[in-house]
Each structure stands twice: as structure tokens, then as C-alpha cells.
Amino acid sequence: MALKEKKVSESRTVKSSHVLPPDTNTHGTLFGGKLMAYIDDVAAIAATRHARQNVVTASSDSVDFLHPIKVGYSVCLEAFVSWTHRTSMEVFVKVIAENLLTGERQLCALSFLTFVAIDENGNPSPVPNVVPESEEEKWLFEGAASRAERRRKRRDESKQLARKFGTEKPWEKL
């Protein structure tokens, strides 16, 4: 049975958070790892909305930190499924920081993540095709196949590295 296509807008997810002192480093800016956790969380929600089944993170492309996010600002993440394959989904995430006192907003980070839908046994499960509507969504959709190919090559390289370095304990070499 073919799955019904879904519009990009059906997966769109927005998450905002206040940047508080415990979330920041010694520079008074949001920890990169904290932002990465926010990115993975909002992307997982978008992927789950699209698939309407459990999902797992398969990969995260590089997160490009364009500007620091200061304590006291808000951080707003927008995520949506930008492309689908048989069981996988590419999710685009945009991060905007806002100075809550002045209203000034700045694009701070962009990221692509890949999620795989899984069934009740943890096996990959088919997902609906995604239908882009806006010019931006169409632009992302058109470039997705080449990004997927780069991910495949990177994954192959990671597997080679894993075979080379394995699980040997480095202290046993001494």
C-alpha cells in the first residue's frame, strides 16, 4: 500500500528557549553541545510528525555556528522534513537568536540531519514522500539528492575508520 504524500508544512516544528546562565560557557554564550541537543530534539519531532512513527537519528551533517547566542537571548529553532527516501528523511534546521530587549534577530546556525523511521521491532520502515511548496522548500528539495550522496560517502569513510581503529584499548599498546 502506497503511503500518502505529505506537505513540508505538516512536519514544521518550532521550539523556543530562553538562554540562561547554566546553558552558557565562560564567554556567556550558549554551549555548542546544548544547541546541538536542541537541534536534534526539534528535528526528531519534525521527523516523527512526518512519519507518524518512531524515528532514530542516523546522521547529523556539520552544524555551522554562524554567530554566538548570548545569555539572556532567546533561541528559536525551526525544523521541517526537506526530503525523503524510502525509510529516511532529511530534516533542515534553522536557528535564530533574538535579543529580547531590542528585538534584534540573527541567524545563528543551520543544520541538516537524517532520521530513519522504525517499526515496533526497530527495523527501518517506509515513510511518505514529502511535497515542497515554497521556493525555499523547493530549493532545499532539489539539492537533497547530492547532499544524500555526500552523506553516503562520509558514512563509508566512517566505516573504514571504524575498521581501522576498532575497539582496541590504546593503553594496551604501551
- DSSP code at position 122: S
pLDDT at position 75 is 98
Query: What's domain 6-165's architecture?
Result: Roll (3.10)
- pTM score: 0.90
pLDDT at position 89 is 98
Q: Which residues contact 98 (CB under 8 A, 6 or more apart)?
A: 73, 74, 75, 76, 104, 105, 106
pLDDT at position 174 is 57
C-alpha grid cell, residue 116: 530513519
The residues spanned by each domain of the chain are 6-165
Residue-wise pLDDT for 129-154, tens only, equals 999 999 999 999 999 999 999 999 99
* 15, 77 Cβ separation under 8 angstroms: yes
Low-confidence ranges of the chain (pLDDT < 70): 1-2, 170-174
